[in-house]
Amino acid sequence: MITDDPASERLAPPRSFAPSARFQRVKISVLGRYMLQDRREFPCQVLEMSPGDAAVVVPIAGQIGEKVIAYIDHVGRIEGSVVAHIDGGFMMDIVASPRKRDKMAAQLTWLANKDTLNLPEDRRHERVVPDNRHSTVVLDDGRRYNCKIIDISLSGAAIELAVRPAMGTPVTLGRMRARVIRHFQDGVAVEFASSQEMLNVVQQNLRLN
Could you report the per-residue pLDDT of 1-60, keeping only the tens digit for each?
444 443 333 343 434 444 444 678 888 888 889 999 999 999 999 999 999 999 999 999
Q: Does residue 124 lie in a domain region?
A: no
Task: Please tell me whether residues 34 and 113 are part of one structural domain.
Answer: yes
User: Tell me: the pLDDT tens digits for 90-115?
Assistant: 999 999 998 888 888 878 877 776 65
Could you write out the three-class secondary structure of 53-86? Answer: EEEEECCCCCCCCCEEEEEECCCEEEEEEEEEEE
Q: Does residue 126 lie in a domain region?
A: no
CA distances from 116 to 15, 45, 148 (A): 19, 20, 35
Predicted model pTM: 0.49
What is the extent of the structural domain holding 167?
134-206
Count: domains in the chain: 2
Task: Please tell me whether residues 21 and 60 are part of one structural domain.
Answer: yes
Tell me which long-range contacts 116-125 makes (C-beta under 8 A, separation of at least 24): 122/74, 123/153, 124/153, 124/154, 124/155, 125/153, 125/154, 125/155, 125/195
Choose one of 57, 92, 117: the last residue of a domain.
117
pLDDT on residue 141: 86
Maximum mean pLDDT: which of 119-123, 188-192, 194-198: 188-192
Q: Does residue 44 lie in a domain region?
A: yes
CB environment 133-157: b (16+ within 10 A), e (fewer): eebbbeeeeeeeeebebbbbbbbbb
Task: Please tell me whether residues 11 and 110 are part of one structural domain.
Answer: yes
What confidence category does residue 120 fall into, taking pLDDT thresholds of 50, 70 and 90?
very low
What confidence category does residue 183 fall into, taking pLDDT thresholds of 50, 70 and 90?
confident
